[in-house]
Amino acid sequence: MIETDILVIGAGLAGLTLARELSTLGNKVLLLEKSKSPGGRLSTRRSDFGGFDHGAQYLTSRTAGFTALLNDLSQNGKLAPWNPDGKDSARPWWVGKPGMSEIGQAMARDLGIQYDTRVTGIVKQGQKFLVHTDYRSEPGPDYLTSRLVAAIPAPQALELLTPLDPAFVRLKKVAMAPCWSAMLAFDTRLAGIPDLIRGQQADVLSLIARNSSKPARTGETFILHAAPQWSREHVEGEHEAVKSAMINAMREQTRLGGSLPDPAHFAVHRWLYALVETPLDQPFLGNPENTLFACGDWCIDGRAEAAHQSGEALARHIMSL
Ligand SMILES: Cc1cc2nc3c(=O)[nH]c(=O)nc-3n(C[C@H](O)[C@H](O)[C@H](O)COP(=O)(O)OP(=O)(O)OC[C@H]3O[C@@H](n4cnc5c(N)ncnc54)[C@H](O)[C@@H]3O)c2cc1C
């Protein structure tokens, strides 16, 4: 059994922000993360053809706290501006360098994080929480904590926290959409198309982005994101069928048609909880005893900045107790 003051489930942007803030005050904070690395949906898939940012594409900032984080990352060479041909906003767009996953890696430095560790269940033990885990798909150690935070997508938090406290039934209000993401590399440059194309209402693809147009990337690589409605309809689709539909849509939406060459590399990834459709509309959720909490982008909005805001707001609340 491993004991800690504050246990955070999930080392995405919300969990990392929270843990960083709380650690500065000397709290004993431990993060449990089911993946091999930090960052959550700010993610980069490595391949022989370079890295693919198959989750979030770029970051924008409106709040002072997130702007400070972006400035810090930028000064340390972990972040760079992205100005794709086809950029449709006047706001600066920031990307991790050399990949989006660099952001989580930088933020995770000096934090206590157990990777490959999935929380499978939580039970109350007196005033504390006993947390059961799997480590690399085998039964892992138990953790005991006085305060517990689920910094994970709302539907997953609902499953873990509702049996412990009825306050978390409110998570049912939150709606999140899936997203099929495709990663393609080509041997030659695709002439005549911009770096960024947004889909229209009825299109299969909501986004076609030249991944290699971001700073510090090489080759000719693309990311395709299927639209929420299409992703939902094909959420259980076979990989080959999804690939075929997505490349056909790329042919159509780029107007390259039959002149689009066969990709040298083609993989797909399904994000089950990708984008927030209905947020909670409050910065975090907690129980009346202030011992159990949930935070994440879905509290506020479907953007990385919202995850940061949520983690920051919960840290301030816990520090005020
Ligand atoms: C396809 C796609 C495109 C996007 N595009 C953009 C964009 O261009 N700009 C933008 O600002 N935002 C974008 N976003 C949204 C952005 O990625 C999120 O808002 C942000 O990363 C959410 O951070 P989070 O910490 O709330 O959640 P997450 O990043 O989901 O972090 C949750 C973490 O919890 C872990 N976890 C879950 N369950 C368990 C468990 N039981 N035990 C242990 N660990 C667990 C997960 O592995 C994950 O690391 C996009 C997202 C996707 C998927």
CA distance 52 to 33: 21
- Beta strands (DSSP E) in 172-316 are 175-186, 196-198, 205-210, 220-226, 265-278, 285-286, 292-294
Q: Is the CB of 61 under 6 A from ligand 1?
A: no
- The mean per-residue pLDDT over the stretch 129-155 comes to 97
- The mean per-residue pLDDT over the stretch 124-148 comes to 97
Residue 127's pLDDT band (boundaries 50, 70, 90)? very high
Q: Is the CB of 10 under 6 A from ligand 1?
A: yes
Q: Tell me, yes or no, if the pTM score tops 0.95.
A: yes
Spatial contact of 189 and 286, defined as CB atoms under 8 Å apart: no
Q: Is the CB of 34 under 6 A from ligand 1?
A: yes
Residues 6+ apart with CB under 8 A from 291: 127, 129, 146, 147, 148
Instruction: Determine the distance separating the centroid of ligand 1 and the alpha carbon of 268, expressed in angstroms.
Output: 17
The structural domains of the chain, ordered by start, are 2-174+279-320 (3.50.50.60), 175-276 (3.90.660.10)
pLDDT in tens, 151-205: 999 999 999 999 999 999 999 999 999 999 999 999 999 999 999 999 999 999 9
Model confidence at 16: pLDDT above 90: yes
Q: Environment class of residue 127 by beta-carbon count within 10 Å: exposed (0-12), middle (13-18) or buried (19+)?
A: exposed
What is the residue with the minimal CA distance to atom 14 of ligand 1? Answer: 56
Radius of gyration over every alpha carbon of the chain, rounded to an integer in angstroms = 20
Q: What is the pLDDT of residue 321?
A: 93
- Which atom of ligand 1 lies nearest, measured to the CA of 38? 49
Q: Is the CB of 279 under 6 A from ligand 1?
A: no
Q: Is the CB of 12 under 6 A from ligand 1?
A: yes
Model confidence at 316: pLDDT above 90: yes
Instruction: Determine the distance separating the centroid of ligand 1 and the alpha carbon of 241, expressed in angstroms.
Output: 25
Instruction: Determine the distance separating the centroid of ligand 1 and the alpha carbon of 192, expressed in angstroms.
Output: 33
Count of Cβ atoms closer than 10 Å to residue 188 Cβ:
8
Model confidence at 25: pLDDT above 90: no
Model confidence at 26: pLDDT above 90: no
- Nearest CA among 228, 310, 314 for reference residue 270: 228
Helix 304-320 to helix 64-75 angle (10° resolution) is 110
pLDDT in tens, 224-276: 999 999 999 999 999 999 999 999 999 999 999 999 999 999 999 999 999 99
Per DSSP, what are the bridge partners of residue 120?
Answer: none
